[in-house]
Structure 1
Amino acid sequence: MSGRAVFLWVVLPFVALSALALWLTRDTPTHVETVAVEAPTPPEPPKRAPPPAPTLALPPEPTPQPPLPSPPPPPEDEPLEDPPPGTWSKEEIRVALRAVQPLVRSCLADASVRHPGSHSVKLRFTLDAQGAHGRFQRGEVVESSVQDPFVTACLLDTLADTQFSAPPGKPPLTLTHPFHFRPR
């Protein structure tokens, strides 16, 4: 490119745009004189006395009652020995756990490559029957002997992706279950 072409295509448009930008952003002085004109104020209307406030009879305040003792939460170390009546049976819980165990074991086996030794993890999840299939919902890692974000992600993905056969119409059941892995 010749020097003339650079001047015509680069320098000249740059200078023109710079001048335009300066002109658009300049401060313009205002020479407008302001004259204050006072408008006549209308006379104030006569003030009236406010109407009396209505009185309301309030009910007496209730006396505070002591809180009722709440039942102790179920133990969360193992699956429920006897699930509540009308919910999941022990066998249905075992079917769900058998479906997820190989994948959890795979996650912990991968962790043992980077972190040698035996490992344990405690997962909390909700069993949810959707049609003829069940799913693990709201999975979370409660305790883990491996503090590795990749292992945690693997475990949570495993819970989210696993399906098992479940009878329809069962209400959701939240469990906390430990999983253990010992290398060979």
Structure 2
Amino acid sequence: MPAASPPPGDLANAVRAARWSEVRTVTAALPRPLPPAVALAAARAARELGEPQRALDLLHAALPGAGELAAALRLEAGRAASAVGMDPWPWVSPLLAAATPAAQRRAAAAVLRSAWETAPLPALGRVPPAALPRPLRRDLAAVLAVRGADRRAALRLLADRIGDRPALRTAEWLAGRGDLAPADALTVAEALLAGGAWREAAAL
């Protein structure tokens, strides 16, 4: 597949300097359809300037012919989708495949984690856990437990494993409730210790 054409020099300079109004002006004057690299810059500018739906429209049009830039367009679309209250999953889920470069998998996971912090809980319930890598699956379980105030789900997560970020987050939330049975308090304390939260563990 041929390499994507680089954006014009003045546009590239504006992107590097984060002059998003200038990026919008330059890209608006270019003929359509925009090449993928230019569409990516235009979409980033639209999102940064508070127009995430416009960003999504640009990315949707550019993605079919994006070639090697498809991952970058998907990541930007995931961020734009989150900004308009949509689920980024359809955009970034292809980047979670094991064959995808690790940097792209990490970026896709970061987009999802960020979205999960603010997405409505019913929307989170529609994310297919089986399609997630195990670390992301635990991140989602922790978000659902903590944001949904589900103590049983939180304790199940700790029973499955401690020593990772979701376990620490869940343990900190449980510790703050102050109504734990002795056995549950011990589990929470172990999770806090495993996560380095010594003072919180000692307070239980």
Q: Same fold (TM over 0.5)?
A: no
**Higher normalized strand content (fraction of residues):** 1
The TM-score range, normalised by the shorter chain, is: under 0.3
Question: Could you tell me the TM-score, scaled by structure 2's length?
Answer: 0.18
Question: Could you tell me the TM-score, scaled by structure 1's length?
Answer: 0.19
**Higher normalized helix content (fraction of residues):** 2
